[in-house]
Structure 1
Amino acid sequence: MRIRDIIEGKKEWRAHVARVKALPQDYQIVYKEIQKYLFKVGPVELTEGTDLLSGIVDLFEEGAALGKGVLEVTGNDVAAFCDDLIKDSKTYADIYQESVDQKVYEAIKKMTDETK
């Protein structure tokens, strides 16, 4: 990654953070919880840019402009809202699970081959 790419990435992130700070307080609180949740759950594409997070801010800006409360936008179960956003996304947990499954499969195959 070039220095210019890093600088551009930081500029984009700062602009994103400024958009979040411009949201009403309730939206900011829920956004921060969503962000924590997504960073913990770990959809792979989250590290490849802020498209998902920017989409959430777009949705929140629209909801705020319409005078809706944040839970009218997300629903009362914010974790379920997040899960629905990433339901078709590969997560780091998925990658880890595949790795474990592959190691177990290889170990069992090796053990089976040795007993023949």
Structure 2
Amino acid sequence: MNFWDTITGNDLTREWNAFEVRAQALPADHRAAWEQIQVHLFPYGDFTGRNLMPILDSALGLLEQTAADGQGIDEVLGEDIKGFCAALAGGEGARSYRDRWRQQLNRNVARKLNRLGD
């Protein structure tokens, strides 16, 4: 990966397009699960989403393998795809960008309130 691709995000675009090509080869139920996985993983991403690329690659690989083995989505992911995604992102209770922003806002408000109390 060269510097220009990293700065412009071209590398992410190429990876994302490769994911979409791979996902199109999946059966319909696996493709629907892929869409749900994307939706539920994005809140755990950083500003660029670069940290999610290995996780998404692994999740798509799992879907490809299970489709090749003839397993259904419920056998592999169960009913709780959101919980599955939380586990992929670092476990239940993993901090999302909302949690980080909330903590930053609370810290800033507390700092301002302490200055007013002085």
Q: CA deviation at 1:27?
A: 0.5
Q: Are 2:114 and 1:109 aligned?
A: yes
Q: Given the alignment, which residue of 65, 77, 84 partners 1:62?
A: 65
More moved, 66-75 vs 4-13: 4-13
Q: CA deviation at 1:90?
A: 4.0
TM-score (norm 1): 0.80
Aligned AA (1:103): N
Aligned AA (1:16): F
Distance 2:116 2:10 in 1: 51
TM-score (norm 2): 0.79
Equivalent in the alignment of 2:90: 87
- Cα distance per residue 1:38-67 (max 9 Å; x no partner): 22x243287115211111001111111221
Distance 2:56 2:48 in 1: 8
3-state SS in 2 of match to 1:87: coil
Segments of structure 1 that go 5 or more residues without pairing to the other structure are none
More moved, 93-102 vs 3-12: 3-12
Aligned AA (2:81): V
3-state SS in 1 of match to 2:90: coil
Say how many residue pairs are matched: 112
CA 1:25/1:105 → structure 2, altered by over 3 Å: closer, same or farther?
same
Equivalent in the alignment of 2:81: 78
Segments of structure 2 that go 5 or more residues without pairing to the other structure are none
Aligned AA (1:48): R
CA RMSD of aligned residues (A): 2.3
3-state SS in 1 of match to 2:70: coil
3-state SS in 2 of match to 1:97: helix
Equivalent in the alignment of 2:27: 24
Note if contact 1:27-1:70 (Cα within 8 Å) is conserved in structure 2.
Answer: yes
Aligned AA (1:85): L
